[in-house]
Amino acid sequence: MAVRGEGVYVWEADGNRYLDFSGSAAVNFIGHGVGEISDAMAEQARQLEFVHTSQFTTPVAEEFAQELLDFAGDHFAGGAVYFTCGGSESVETALKLARQYQVEIGERNRHQILSRQQSYHGATLGALAVSGNRKRREIYLPMVREFEHIGVPYCYRCAFECTDSCYNCGQQYAAELERAIQAAKGAAAGFIFEPMSGATLGAVAPPPGYLQAVAEICQRHGVLLIADEVMTGMGRTGRNFAIEHWGITPDILVTAKGISSGYAPLGAVITSKKVADAIAAGSGAFLHGFTYNAHPVSVDAGRAVLRRLRALNLVHAADSQTDGTAGAALKTTLESLRDLDAVGDVRGLGLLWGVEFVADKRTKAPFAAEKSFAGLVGQACLRRGLLVYPMQGCVDGIAGDHLLIAPPAMITVEQIGWAVEQIRAAVKESLPTGGKHQPGVSKPNRAI
Ligand SMILES: Cc1ncc(COP(=O)(O)O)c(C=O)c1O
């Protein structure tokens, strides 16, 4: 029972303190309990708590939309922003926006959204249809309409035995996208992808040249490029958006989580001018809506979070490629775990990292899925006062264990050092293992 948060810590009702080393689920970026965010939200609620977007827009939504377009970079100048209540709503919005864009420009046959295996785009049925996370999809599959899911480069377990830092494998996977677009026979409307795989593979970055090839293929075939930056956006990887690492410019950018750092339910779909103009010049309105689009209190929370993120230079703090930052400290400290027999890989960028466990380091054989090794490590961390995000399925959707690490950007070097020591001890405690755990599934509570 969590009752209070401050900085990197969360407290339970009985006084136990936890260091939040996963930002809940890669949500919190500015730290817990920041009074200026709650003050801004309270002030907005006092002035105007809500209006429906069919009747009004609000100064806070208009101003924050412009600030977000600026934050997203030059490519989005003259574009538009659609605010939602989170990641899944934003993905649903992006899928429908891609379809409407194609209809507006006279491409009525284009309705398919291509996506990737081993991905996660949300819990609603449309988002689940484009997701590849086997465990989260399995029982709902008869309910979803599916289009092609292509393979995803995963260099630690490279399927092509590359000897060129996986440049070759990146090109092979990009070619798979081109074949899928051709097989769709003119029906592909968009391609959705996580620039860096989030929870499902555990912070896997793409190989060099891959995303550039993917972007070029989409552009050549008239397929909208949709970057899902729900987890990687708003500074998490040490850039405003992760796409900046690879210099690509999607048509639609989806974000949530860090946009409000968890202070309010908020997500955003940021579109380029090309997409916004096509709708403005066509039917004139996006045929889509939720009652709580652009909720003034949530949007104001996002605005206040962006102000703080800028004032404290937190995107720079997250940059693992610059010495002296929290990101760099996290990278070096986590990499020290490589000396453990059970740690096969440590990977990531910025403040988004994955630690993959293996039963045999030489063959990279995973632990038996029934052992739920990541779950055991997660529980051992919890007993030691550390919150991490354990996941299973990185190898084939079922087997393969990893932890996702995504702390708030104001974490100190000492706190990182302490947290990594707890993981080290937790891994040792979890070998040999037993017990059951279901990672990635929320516990039901009486409020449901
Ligand atoms: C990449 C990605 N997209 C979409 C979602 C869904 O977001 P939400 O849980 O806010 O609906 C998530 C959630 O983890 C995510 O990581």
pLDDT tens digits, 279-292:
999 999 999 999 99
Distance of CA 398 from the midpoint of ligand 1 (Å): 20
Binding site membership of 327 for ligand 1 (Cβ less than 6 Å): no
Question: Which range, of 155-159, 276-280, 297-301, averages the lowest pLDDT?
Answer: 155-159
Question: Which atom of ligand 1 is nearest to 88's Cα?
Answer: 11
Both tokens of residue 210?
A: 């891959």
Conformation bin of residue 161: beta by default, left when phi > 0, alpha when psi is -120 to 50: left
Q: Which two tokens stand for residue 86?
A: 């989170």
Share of the chain above pLDDT 70, in %: 96
Q: How far apart are CA 32 and CA 259, in angstroms?
A: 14
Q: Two tokens at 167?
A: 């440049």
51 burial (CB, 10 Å; 0-12 / 13-18 / 19+) is middle
- Separation of CA 194 and ligand 1 centre (Å): 10
Any ligand 1 atom below 6 A from CB of 193: no
Mean pLDDT in residue range 193-198: 96
Amino acid 385: pLDDT? 98
At 316, the amino acid letter reads H
pLDDT on residue 165: 87
Does position 439 have pLDDT exceeding 50, yes or no? no
Peptide bond into 250 cis (omega under 30): no
Ligand 1 atom at shortest distance from the alpha carbon of 257: 10
| 364-414 tens-digit pLDDT | 999 999 999 999 999 999 999 999 999 999 999 999 999 999 999 999 999
pLDDT tens track for 223-248: 999 999 999 999 999 999 999 999 99
What is the pLDDT at residue 446? 58
pLDDT in tens, 138-159: 999 999 998 999 999 999 999 8
User: Could you tell me the pLDDT band of residue 448, with boundaries at 50, 70 and 90?
Assistant: very low
69: CB partners within 8 A, 6+ apart: 76, 77, 79, 80, 81, 270
Q: What ligand 1 atom has the least distance to the C-alpha of 254?
A: 3
Q: Which amino acid is at 32?
A: H
